[in-house]
Amino acid sequence: MRCASPRPQRGGGLPVLPPEVLEHGERVLAHLRSRIEAAGGPLDFADFMREALYAPGLGYYTAGLAKFGAAGDFVTAPEVSPLFGRALARQVAEVLEQIEGGEVLEFGAGSGKLAVEMLLELERLGHLPARYLILDVSASLRAAQRERIEVRAPHLLARVAWIDAWPEGFAGVIVGNEVLDALPVRLLEIGADGPQRLGVMLGEEGLDWTRLPATAEDGVVLAEIEEARGESFPPGYRVEFHPELPGWLAGLAHALRQGVAFLFDYGGNSRELYAPERWMGTLRCHLRHHAHDNPLLHPGLQDITAWVDFSRVASGAAQAGLDVLGYTMQAHFLLGCGLAQVYDAAFAEVEGETDQLRLAQGFKTLMMPGEMGERFKVIALGRGVDGPLSGFALRDFRDRL
């Protein structure tokens, strides 16, 4: 979860950044200016977001700036509590029991905390995979992941391997925690004469917004969303979608010979995501634990995300040849995986009131509706796995997709 201040701001009240960080920001701006000039005009916002987040050596996820925890910009579920990884490991072990020689692949492993907790819990459960693969684009994050594993689980480091692309013929479990929300987003604004794309241009004082013609492809996606939503969008509504999602799902389907992928993110189905009250969209930026809605401010220095349309995830997965095996809220999933038992065991092991309070607070954050419990969803996609999945035993909302 991108946990930050509760009221998103348009740029006011944001923290002052140190000079070395601002210097990196100037390099990112120079790169974006060159991209706009090379294009001979404005960039579609999805292209801008891709450069701001993933430009080699410059983007938010590829440069070496701190991202997670108190020193970074936000926290995720593995950062909040070790309980998340330990409960998830129980579900992973359940799937690995059905797949001989099954492996684990974590897509975008962040700080490495989830990998450590999963590995140690799988060891306790007697279901260590032969390999724990990590697919991450950031060299700095890879180094941090390796260091964390060396400190917390040095005897398991030999099982971990870092890869640069989807593997071939993978069998086992794939985990993606807050991956889809960081895919580039296309922004369409509905006008009286139809939709227009939002783009980014060079203005007198830096980057600025502009409007671009929508394409026929945009019209197809918009019609699909309106059909799922149950009504047309009114003028003034801002529609967001992830244009790279179908390709990402196709890559997942091509890689997965047998097994299950568990994808966690904040979002909902199409009706929930495109509700009337969300007419300004869900795009948010996170900078030093402050949330705001101006992605043109400090590009490359802040995270940019948007909620995930799980209806489109499900339909895209089906088109790619995957089965939708479950869909539910994070709270229901973790309880189905035995989170209560994991919490009791962990509570009995910690010593001192401070550690007990920290563990209890982490449990609350993972589970409460106003925290991660309801806003976060998990969807399971797979093939060649017949057994039930415990994470969806309490509630399964596939009928809502």
- pLDDT, position 14: 83
- Note the pLDDT of residue 8: 35
* Domain residue limits at 165: 81-181+247-269+309-400
Q: Any idea how long the chain is? A: 401
Q: Output phi, psi for 355, to 5 deg.
A: -65, -35
| 396 has pLDDT over 80 | yes
Report, as an integer, the average pLDDT of 14-27.
91
- Would you give the DSSP letter of residue 371? I
Tell me the pairing of strands 194-203 and 290-292. unpaired
Q: How does 358-391 read in b/e, with b if 16+ C-beta sit within 10 Å?
A: ebeebbebbbeeebbbbbbbbbbbbeebeeebbb
What's the half-sphere exposure (Cβ side, CA atoms, 13 Å) at 23?
3
Within a domain: 161:
yes
Please report whether residue 128 resides in a domain.
Answer: yes
Q: Is residue 43 assigned to a domain? A: no
Q: Is residue 284 part of a domain?
A: no
Task: Kindly state whether residue 27 falls inside one of the protein's structural domains.
Answer: no
Number of structural domains in the chain? 1
CA dihedral over 297, 282, 339, 367, signed as positive or negative: positive
pLDDT at 354 > cutoff 60: yes
Q: Is residue 338 part of a domain?
A: yes
Asked if pLDDT for residue 44 goes beyond 90, the answer is yes
Instruction: Give the model confidence (pLDDT) of 307-333 as tens digits.
Output: 999 999 999 999 999 999 999 999 999
Tens of pLDDT along 184-237? 999 999 999 999 999 999 998 899 999 999 999 999 999 999 999 999 999 999
We report the CATH number of the domain holding residue 260 as: 3.40.50.12710
Q: Model-level pTM?
A: 0.94
Q: What is the DSSP letter of 59?
A: S
For residues 375 and 83, is the Cβ–Cβ distance under 8 A? no
Across the range 55-65, mean pLDDT stands at 87
Specify the pLDDT at position 205: 84
Contact 77, 264 (CB under 8 A): yes
Residue 320 lies in a domain: yes
DSSP string, 243-264: TTHHHHHHHHHHHEEEEEEEEE
pLDDT at 57 over 60: yes
Beta-strand ranges (E) seen in 5-60 are 43-44
Tell whether 295 is covered by a domain: no
